[in-house]
Chain A
Amino acid sequence: MTELRKRGGGGDTDLVSETISDKETDVEDRLGLPGEPGVEADGDSESKADTPEVPPSTADNTPQFLNKAVEGLNPRWKNWWIRGVLSLAMISGFFMMIYLGPVMLILVVMSIQIKCFQEIIDIGYRVYHSYELPWFRTLSWYFLICVNYFFYGETLAEYFGALVQREEPLQFLVRYHRFISFALYLAGFCMFVLSLVKKHYRLQFYMFAWTHVTLLIVVTQSHLVIQNLFEGMIWFLVPVSIVICNDIMAYLFGFFFGRTPLIKLSPKKTWEGFIGGFFGTLVFGFILAYLLAQFQYFVCPVEYNSETNRFTAECEPSDIFVMHEYTLPFAVQNIIQWKTVNLYPYQIHSVALSTFGSLIGPFGGFFASGFKRAFKIKDFADTIPGHGGIMDRFDCQYLMATFTHVYIASFIRGPNPSKVLQQLLVLQPEQQLSIFNTLRERLRDRGMLPPAATEAI
């Protein structure tokens, strides 16, 4: 979404002093801003006093060599080149990480999560001038660690079942995991209460809430991403690519055909871009799903092999990754003269994913734009030259990750068998016996087990 912002070529100093958020800001906003806070709102002016404009973070940090390479060009083209080069760099980075495998991807997801968290907390600090509350930085990072510990413990215990059974300390940690996580969180809560300083109550409560909302958004989503990844790398790659593609396609269609504005919040978005992006993404998702569904590397659930101590993705591909023949409806048959078509069922699922990415993804972008306007910042941070912070790149991804996770849980997979077995083994023997009998009846009914008379232990 933020690719549509133009950072303005030669005017680096202008950039720094201009604290408006989107390029799409209306002309009146641009005129109104530098000296007239009153333009924003009457209702806002009071709260404005308590959240004054956020000082822009740093100057443009395009690396020197890029600057030299493009200094000959016209400032407008220079900007395009920088953004283009960085986009290409990011996409290549993405491919490299895919090649390096699941462990690398998990580490990258974790780094991105930490960086996003830091960017948002940083904005909170600037907005509330809470730099002088030293405890609070510590507490924010502490809560991040707690919540990550909780989530990683829940997910990892599931997937590393064999490893966990072997090591005694790990078993203890897993059995009392919730209790330990809760105790850690409580320690942080108590530290917060003890750190309340008379003159700073309100600030501290704001930062506490800010931290928690950030954790809710950033950390839970990143764990959903990792759970999707464990389902099969294709469930990570296709959604992420769909969102990126939608961004690019919507931009291109908007650039060439854009005429009717979409929403007042982002005046640069157009209906033509939106619809064009929707269809472009559908086609792209369809093709990408076809390409990736053929490789076991992408399609198989990621498993941890305790003998070799590595992650492997090797299996018998499930039904949705096996070619099926579908008969086309008559209307389409007349058009293209094919009676049936060979598709992976996964491609049909990809249509659902693309639809969501194109329709709801933009709302994530609008939310982030609104957020930046509310706090009068141009970008979340300046990590990526030409693009802004990590959050700017990932703002549309968040809803997508949750949707993919919910989609998988509802339509694709059932519960995890090893987790069910784990739970079974923890029950009381009488309960186990009763479940055993029920299961045996069911299996006999379905013909998986020979009937009672012939069975013997």
Chain B
Amino acid sequence: MTELRHRGTTDNDLQHQQSDDKGSENEGKAEKDGASDSETKPDTGLPEVPVTADDTPEVLNKALSGLSSRWKNWWVRGILTLAMIIFFFIIIYLGPMVLMMIVLCVQIKCFQEIIHIGYSVYHSYHLPWFRTLSWYFLLCVNYFFYGETVTDYFSNLVQREEPLRILSKYHRLISFTLYLTGFCMFVLSLVKKHYRLQFYMFGWTHVTLLIVVTQSHLIIHNLFEGMIWFIVPISCVICNDIMAYMFGFFFGRTPLIKLSPKKTWEGFIGGFFSTVVFGILLSYVMSGYSFFVCPVEFNSDHNSFEVDCEPSDLFQLQDYALPAALQSLTGWPTVRLYPFQIHSIALSAFASIMGPFGGFFASGFKRAFKIKDFANTIPGHGGIMDRFDCQYLMATFVNVYIASFIRGPNPAKVIQQLLALRLDQQLHIFNSLKTHLTERGVAEDV
């Protein structure tokens, strides 16, 4: 979504321009005063966040110094976009382990960016405890989530090692204790003159944790389901961004929403259709490889992740009869598709329709706090959060989608729970299962 912002010609302009989207330039400057009318009171509490200087690397600057400023900006953005996409391919190649670590790093960076904004907004730099507490809460919540993930997917390894087994058995209690310690530290750190600031930062930290950390763990869950469930959604969102921008650039005419005046209906609809097509093609390409399609498993003998399996039904080519209308158009009676491609239509549709709302939310957030970008990490693009703002809803949707329509409960987890029951309960379940299986004719003479 933020690719549509034009970063302006010179560095000085960048720093002085506090308005948000490129589209709001004209209105923004004139009505910045108007906008703060009703907010004069709140405004004094939230002065403008200082913007750091443009940090395009020198090498790029030199290479492009000959060009006109406008084109220079385009080139910077273009090169960085290409660099990010190449980087994406590299980490896919390196496998699930590296992907997980990248997700963790992105999560930490996003968290840091948002907390940093909170600090700037509330001048809470002089509350030293609070930085510590924010990071501590991040650690606690990550510990909780990673513990649950590790217990689910690494059950063999966990059962073998005694300390891990204890940590796993009392995982919730340990996580809760860690969180409580943080809570008590917060209460003890309340200083008379800074109550309100501290409560604000406490609330800010928790909301950030809720958004950033839970989503990143849903992404990792999706990843374990099969790398295709990670790659296709992310690619759909990226593609939607790019396609909506192109269609808007070439055909854009009717504005979409007041919040982001540069978005147009033409871009939205064009982006929708092209993302659906892109999703179908990408799923076709990826479904052929077991590297992408198989659930990621941890092999305790080799102590590494592997993706090796019999691809499930979703990833086997099947014949679908085309409806009569399409038959007469294309002259094919049936078409061979992977069922996953049909699921990908749902994913693309969601990315095109709801993804933009995530972008609008982030734009509104930036306008509310009068910041141009979340940070300046990526030259030409802003911070990590700017790149990932549309991804968040997508990750949750994919997770819910998988849970509802694709897989049932994880068999390993079910066995774990089963073996934790009392013996008489186990016997009861055994008998029910036996009846069930004999009815279905699955269990023969045992």
Chain A interfacial positions (CB closer than 8 Å to B): 40-44, 46-52, 128, 175-176, 178-179, 182, 186, 189-190, 192-194, 196, 198-205, 209-210, 212-213, 216, 263-265, 360, 363, 366-367, 370-371, 373-375, 399, 402-403, 406-407, 409-410, 414-415, 417, 420-421, 423-429, 431-436, 438-440, 442-443, 446, 448-449, 455-457
Contact = CB atoms under 8 A, between A and B. Distances in A.
A435 B411 contact: yes
Interface string B404-417: 11001101001101
Highest count of chain A CB atoms <10 Å: which of B186, B190, B210, B420: B190
Given A204-B368, A431-B411, A403 B176 contact: yes
B409 A425 contact: no
Contact of B203 (A42, A213, A363, A442): A213
24 contacts: A44-B195, A47-B122, A47-B197, A49-B41, A49-B44, A50-B44, A178-B403, A179-B403, A182-B397, A189-B361, A190-B354, A196-B360, A198-B258, A212-B210, A213-B207, A264-B192, A367-B187, A415-B420, A417-B421, A421-B429, A427-B408, A427-B414, A440-B430, A457-B434
A432 B172 contact: no
Contacts of B360: 193, 196
Given A44-B194, A216-B210, A374-B195, A182 B396 contact: yes
Nearest to A192: B361
Contact of A373 (B38, B195, B257, B421): B195
B439 to A, nearest CB: 11
Interface string B234-256: 00000000000000000000000
> Most chain-B CB neighbours within 10 Å: which of A176, A201, A210, A367?
A201
Contact of A265 (B169, B190, B446): B190
Contacts of A434: 411
Interface in B254-311: 257-259
A457 B196 contact: no
**Residue among A175, A202, A210, A212 with max Cβ neighbours from chain B (10 Å):** A202
| Most A-side CB within 10 Å, residue of B195, B434, B438 | B195
A132 to B, nearest CB: 9
Contact of B400 (A178, A201, A204): A178
**6 A-B pairs closest in CB distance:** A50-B45, A41-B193, A374-B195, A201-B368, A50-B42, A374-B196
B437 interface: yes
Contacts of B198: 370, 374
B187 A456 contact: no
Interface in B377-408: 393, 396-397, 400-401, 403-405, 408
Contact of A201 (B183, B364, B408, B437): B364
Nearest to B207: A209
Contact of B190 (A370, A375, A426): A370
A49 B404 CA distance: 48
Given A50-B44, A210-B203, A424-B433, A457 B176 contact: no
A163 B169 CA distance: 32
Interface in B414-434: 414-415, 417-430, 432-434
A434 to B, nearest CB: 7
B183 A363 contact: yes
B89 interface: no
Contacts of B46: 50, 202
Contacts of A371: 195, 199
State the majority secondary structure of interface residues on A.
Answer: helix
B369 interface: yes
Nearest to B126: A43
Given A423-B417, A432-B433, 5 more contacts: A204-B368, A264-B192, A429-B440, A435-B418, A448-B426
Contacts of A363: 183-184, 187
Nearest to B211: A212
B443 interface: yes
Contacts of A52: 41
Contacts of B418: 420, 424, 435, 439
Contacts of A200: 38-39
Contact of A47 (B184, B196, B408, B415): B196
A332 to B, nearest CB: 29
Contacts of B148: none
Contacts of B30: none
B103 interface: no
B445 interface: yes
B203 A443 contact: no
A406 B173 contact: yes
Interface in B199-249: 199-200, 203-204, 206-207, 210
A440 B368 contact: no
Nearest to A46: B45
Contacts of B257: 194
Given A427-B414, A434-B411, A435-B411, A209 B429 contact: no
Contacts of B401: 179
A432 B437 contact: yes
Nearest to A186: B354
A66 to B, nearest CB: 34
A264 B404 CA distance: 51
A47 B368 contact: no
A205 B365 contact: yes
Contacts of B172: 406, 409-410
A186 B421 CA distance: 37
Contacts of A456: 445
Contact of A199 (B37, B123, B194, B259): B37
Contact of A202 (B188, B190, B196, B368): B368
A198 to B, nearest CB: 6
A202 B365 CA distance: 8
Given A43-B123, A428-B408, A435-B418, A448 B423 contact: yes
B429 A407 contact: no
B329 interface: no
Contacts of B37: 199
Contacts of A431: 411
B176 A402 contact: yes
B35 interface: yes
Contact of B364 (A50, A193, A263, A417): A193
Contact of B426 (A198, A203, A439): A439
B207 A442 contact: no
A50 B186 CA distance: 23
A443 B122 contact: no
B361 A424 contact: no
A209 B169 CA distance: 34
B442 interface: yes
B434 to A, nearest CB: 7
Given A193-B364, A403-B176, A457 B446 contact: yes
Contacts of A457: 434, 438, 443, 445-446
A199 B365 contact: no
Contacts of B368: 201-202, 204-205
A371 B197 CA distance: 11
A420 B408 contact: no
Most buried by B among A196, A446, A456: A196
Contact of B259 (A40, A42, A196, A374): A196
A288 B426 CA distance: 34
A343 B328 CA distance: 82
A417 B425 contact: yes
Given A42-B193, A265-B190, A407-B173, A436 B411 contact: no
Contact of B443 (A199, A213, A423, A433): A433
